Amino acid sequence: MSTASVSRPRGFRLPASLRGWDGASRAVLLLVLAVVLVTFADYGVTWDEPRQNRYGELALGYYCSRGADHAVFSYFDLYLYGAAFDLLAALVNTVSPLGVYETRHLLNALVGIAGLAGTWRLARELAGPRVGFLALTLLTATPDWYGHMYNNPKDIPFAAAMTWGTFVLLRLARQLPRPAPGAALGFGALTGLAVATRVVGGLLAVYAAVVLGAWAVGRVRAAGWGPALRQIGGAALPFVPAAMLAWGVVFVFWPWVQQAPIANPLLAVRTFSHFPHNTTFLYAGELVRSTDLPWHYLPGMLLVRMPLPVLVGLALAPLAAWLRWRDRDVPWAGWGLLTLAIVVPLALVIGTGTVLYDGLRHFLFLVPLIVVAAAASLDSLWQRVPWRRVRVGLTTLAVVWLALQVGDFVRVHPNQYILYNPMAGGISGAEGRFELDFWGSSLKETTERLVEEVVAARGEAVLDRPLTVVVCGPFDSVRPYVPETWEVLDARTARSGDLFVALSKVRCRLHGRGKILVRTEEDGAVLSIAGTLD
């Protein structure tokens, strides 16, 4: 009998699309997607979400009325922001079978996954598939990304657009002097989406001008003015329709810009350069004012918030850069652009005294770029280690760290964004020194447990009684989780009530007036409390 006819059992093999470093990256994205689909409903309504949701509804009303309904222009100061994500969320909510905030959280998380994919592609384009996988894994394990991914409707969409925009710009830079028209249009669309979320997205256009200008200077030096000018003209031409598309996207998704296409964006830039938000909060154990921050606030927050491997990668980045320069392995289009995109915003913040608060939230768009830089440095130096056992040991150490980080994510779920790294002493070390639940994420759990306690004590009939719940903190973050018959009041104006819910970061005049029934805490740090009032 021919051996060719004998069938042999075959072991399980991964699909070709999931093999190798790129396959591993796709597997990570699929795993995150699966986790999102299972857990998105666990996340609470954060402080800004109700206003952002209403802003999206008003923007949708503006378009449905064909521009006749101008309520969107007088709703707090949100007209200063583009409505790209909030308008999309409002539109999806008209057909979604889920609740309003469940829909927003799922959509927000999907945009966060898009940002993860953009980080993978950027790192891969810069330094290869292995660095792409490493950067993707590190960003997924970063509390300031994963923890904000579900319910941060401004900073996550903006960061995702900026990351993809940087990736496409890197590709365009490497295509000079003949950038692909399709890629240029993609860059224009991404720039428009970034600006239509936060006006500072215009930095992408600045980066493009710097990249094109640096390349043009190099061509003039290499070929002289005559030949160089022809190449420069051809290289710049695809950016013209890209700029037109970017402006068109901004015009479509930012209703306020339609009222004054030049003056209003400039007014937004001037306003945000010194944003009139004067508040105090904890930083390094002291109360600081958002309008008078120490110069080291943003670097200091990076030091206590970024995962340890990222900090190690950043610390070793100068050594890795010197080794690349020594070996003439320095593609300027890649490393120059990445350095520019990280350093310029940091320098602007430190140099101009920009108003900041809520940790790294306003500069979340830098986090993917910083992670890419750290991953590239770690990989570059890991390759240069001559001893195999040392490389295996370092890899094992990284896997152990990742397992511990995932364990922390599971343990504090769904409040991952409050995690601090060991430089701050973790959550317990950060308590009383840094802000923890500054966005009220824990209020969902606290309020739901309060309802359970009240029902257990008074019976199911209490759900139909008109009780009042007084809230120290974002009262709209509590409203979705109490029965419709219960009234939710702001503690700043309410004189009395039946129950209370208080966010720990808020100085609450209700303290001592009632009995605490519920505490939500992590590692001994109390995030929020609730109970009955006297």
103-129 confidence digits (pLDDT tens):
999 999 999 999 999 999 999 999 999
Q: In the prediction, which pLDDT does 510 show?
A: 77
Q: Evaluate whether 233 touches 351 at the Cβ level (below 8 Å).
A: no
User: DSSP 3-state assignment of 7?
Assistant: coil
What is the residue whose two structure tokens read 């979400």?
49
CB atoms within 10 A of CB 456: 11
DSSP state of 292: B
Give the tens place of pLDDT for each residue, 82-97.
999 999 999 999 999 9
**Which tops the pLDDT comparison, 272 or 136?**
136
Give the pLDDT band (50/70/90) at residue 4.
Answer: very low
Higher-confidence residue: 330 or 250? Answer: 250
Q: What is the pLDDT of residue 8?
A: 45
Strands 487-490 and 286-289: unpaired
Q: Indicate the pLDDT class of residue 3, thresholds 50, 70 and 90.
A: very low
Q: Give the pLDDT of residue 225.
A: 82
Return the closest-CA partner of residue 287 out of 507, 521, 477: 507
Distance separating alpha carbons of residues 245 and 192, to the nearest angstrom: 7
Give the pLDDT band (50/70/90) at residue 270. Answer: confident
Mean pLDDT on 323-346: 84
How large is the average pLDDT for residues 323-342? 81
Q: How far is CA 206 from the centre of its chain?
A: 21
Report the pLDDT value the prediction gives residue 130, as an integer from 0 to 100: 96
pLDDT surpassing 70 at residue 331: no
What is the percent of the chain where pLDDT is above 70? 96
Read off the tokens for 428: 């317990």
3-state secondary structure of 316: helix
pLDDT at residue number 227? 80
What the block records as the tokens of 50 is 């109700």
